[in-house]
Amino acid sequence: MPVGEFDLIDRYFRRLDRPGGHARADVLLGVGDDAAVLRVPAGQELVAAIDTLVEGRHFLPGCAPQSIGHRALAVNLSDLAAMGAEPAWALLALTLPAAEEAFLEAFAAGLGRLAAAHHVALVGGDTTAGPLTVSVQVLGFVPPGQALRRAGGAPGDLLFVSGTPGDAAAGLQLERRAADGGVAPPGEAAAGQALRERFLYPTPRVALGRALRGLASACIDVSDGLAGDAAKLAAASGCGLRLEADALPLSPALRALAGPERALQLALEGGDDYELCFSLPPAQLPELAVAAQAGGCPLTCIGVLEQAPGVRLYRGGKIQPYVATGYDHFANSG
């Protein structure tokens, strides 16, 4: 049943300004007035990011609304993680074709669950009618001068990635096939489900980003493909990059379903991982174990920054011809 705009905000979104039922003391005024009033902690820098998900481009038509709510926040938390920031507040601009209760309930549950897990308060937003589009803005803090950047890496710094890149891209392919009415081959069930979950419910590496402050020389979150995003980090740092194909951490599910060659390609070029890729001066290596522990996810050294610009992919000790192609919305939309 459709609901009115004010009902809708009240019923589904107002309660998310108390993440997990606990109010944040720094929210002086949340949902309900013309704007939110927020107290930035003394001596901290404010870090802001916004990302938009459009139906048919960032998620498939008919996608589970829980996943849309989760991903809309997760992609933003991932941007804050890449800066080493502590997320605090979010705003939601929601454009909906119709205010359907079942959709809103599930969407708010997906967003609310992730927000509660990170103690993020939804402090405001905007609701309009139109093609399904979800914009979330997140705000967070970082101690002065400690934000991680893409620039800052130097030749000789080791390059790391968290988690197992490529899984989400494989999961999206399985989602597409299911949406097209395709049938999963026998034996695929568990591995396929694991990969789909990686696409539908990515884990933003917020704790890892925080633990990398003062340790990583540069950091980026991997949203458009590892090779392309690593190349962006290297270029911003005024460096080039040697990537070791044999070192890439491919998950057992990805290997099983995609086979070794396709798995490698998905890990390098697939999107939607929301892992962190960072450079580390070798002298900092002993301290990385502590960050890995705090981050709660595996970290793998996949290469090294070099003086010469560009990306060089090595396999079996030999250089492979390779052109890094990150996802580009405008290049891919024609």
Binding site for ligand ADP (CB under 6 A): 9, 13, 31-34, 92, 94, 122, 124-127
- Alpha-carbon torsion, ordered 54, 58, 64, 67, to 10 deg: -110
**Beta carbon nearer to ligand ADP, 7 or 328:** 7
260 touches, from ligand ADP, Mg ion, none (C-beta below 5 to 8 Å by class):
none
126 binds Mg ion (CB under 5 A): yes
Q: How far is the CB of 122 from ligand ADP (least distance, A)?
A: 5
5 binds Mg ion (CB under 5 A): no
Cβ neighbours for 99, distance < 8 A, ≥ 6 positions apart: 2, 3, 4, 5, 8
**Beta carbon nearer to Mg ion, 95 or 146:** 95
| Alpha-carbon span 113 to 273, nearest angstrom | 20
274 touches, from Mg ion, ligand ADP, none (C-beta below 5 to 8 Å by class):
none
**Beta carbon nearer to ligand ADP, 31 or 241:** 31
Q: How far is the CB of 72 from ligand ADP (least distance, A)?
A: 11
Q: How far is the CB of 34 from Mg ion (least distance, A)?
A: 8
| Alpha-carbon span 195 to 176, nearest angstrom | 13
| Alpha-carbon span 159 to 240, nearest angstrom | 11
Q: How far is the CB of 9 from ligand ADP (least distance, A)?
A: 5
Cβ neighbours for 84, distance < 8 A, ≥ 6 positions apart: 142, 146, 147, 148, 209, 210, 212, 213, 216, 219
32 touches, from Mg ion, ligand ADP, none (C-beta below 5 to 8 Å by class):
ligand ADP
Strands (E), the chain: 27-29, 37-38, 45-54, 86-96, 121-129, 133-142, 158-162, 218-222, 240-244, 275-280, 299-306, 311-315, 318-320
**Beta carbon nearer to Mg ion, 32 or 62:** 32
**Beta carbon nearer to ligand ADP, 92 or 212:** 92
Give the angle subtended at the CA of 114 by the CAs of 110 and 119, to the nearest 5°. 140
Q: How far is the CB of 69 from ligand ADP (least distance, A)?
A: 11
**Beta carbon nearer to Mg ion, 72 or 148:** 72
Q: Which residues bind Mg ion (CB under 5 A)?
A: 126
